[in-house]
Amino acid sequence: MSDTVVSPNSHRSLDNRIAEGLRGFGPLGLLAILVIIASQILAPLSAVLVLLWAWLSRTPWREIGYVRPRSWVGGLVIGLVFGIAFKLAMKAIVMPLLGADAINPAYHFLAGNAPAAAAFVPLLIVKAGFGEETFFRGYMFERFGKLIGQSFGAKAVTVVVTAFVFGSLHYFDQGLAGMEQAMITGTVFGTIFALTGRLWMLMWAHAAFDVAAVAIIYWNLESAIAHLVFK
């Protein structure tokens, strides 16, 4: 009886078929999309699965926004400053104009609660900065780009759809005001990503935005900032 010899080319052929299937929108590609979307309930897990998908599908890292920044430190500083300033502008100007309550009831338990606030900070950095940006900007923009193209109109549609989905998920724990704020931030972050194709700065900006929100609640500054411009 002769031994069966498996050609290295057959392994490469199988790997190529798997990679092509994951990149496409056939059964394997759709299954991957559904699994990654379902795992969004645990945002860091969805981001890890996105990275695994990119590796298995041989999708270039730059296509999901993982591009080496021109300056690591510069991106960090710009992201932190922009994220904090953006949060203050949302709290002091945008949300009051939309009629939102000064106090966020969903997270008011963090006021003066040092252990809870401290526990939230690393969670937000991982969940918001890494998890949500990798999924909502990196992955969803790549998938929509493959599906509807990279024209100005296609990118505009992608920004709007991803911002709406991102905002809608915040309705369940923060109500209408939380949904509105998330849709606006999703639109801003999505527009920046559509123009730059880079995630590094946005990861830090998103993390800084959420950490600033926790700090405002912890130090009981919500009402003061919300009435800073509009008394």
CA–CA distance, 104 with 111 (Å, rounded to integer): 10
pLDDT at site 191? 98
Classified as helix, coil or strand, 118 is helix
Query: Do residues 226 and 87 touch, judged by C-beta distance below 8 A?
Result: no
Phi, psi values for residue 179, rounded to 5°: -65, -45
Classify residue 145 as exposed, middle or buried by CB count within 10 Å of its CB (0-12, 13-18, 19+).
middle
Whole-number Å distance between alpha carbons of 86 and 80 = 10
**pLDDT tens, residue by residue, 30-68:** 999 999 999 988 778 999 999 999 999 999 999 999 999
CB 222 within 8 A of CB 88: no
**Which of 180, 211, 165 minimizes the C-alpha distance to 40?**
165
Residue 197: phi and psi, rounded to 5, are 70, 20
Q: How many structural domains is the chain composed of? A: 1
Residue 188 lies in a domain: yes
- Domain, as residue range, for 220: 68-226
| Integer Cα distance of 229 and 223 in angstroms | 11
Rg (CA), the chain: 21
Tell whether 222 is covered by a domain: yes
Predicted confidence at residue 137, as pLDDT, reads: 97
Establish if 63 belongs to a structural domain.
no
Look at residue 66 in the predicted model and tell me its pLDDT: 97
Residue 126 lies in a domain: yes
* Residue 10 pLDDT: 59
Residue 193 lies in a domain: yes
- Any domain includes 116: yes
Reported as type and span, the H/E element at residue 78 is helix 72-89
Low-confidence spans in the chain with pLDDT less than 70: 1-11
Show the tokens assigned to 150. 């990279």
Does 25 map to a domain?
no
Burial of 87 (0-12, 13-18, 19+ CB in 10 A): buried
User: What's the per-residue H, E or C state across 133-200?
Assistant: HHHHHHHHHHHHHHHHCCCHHHHHHHHHHHHHHHHHHCHHHHHHHHHHHHHHHHHHHHHHHHHHCCCH
Task: Look at residue 41 in the predicted model and tell me its pLDDT.
Answer: 82
Asked whether residue 135 is assigned to any structural domain, the reply reads yes
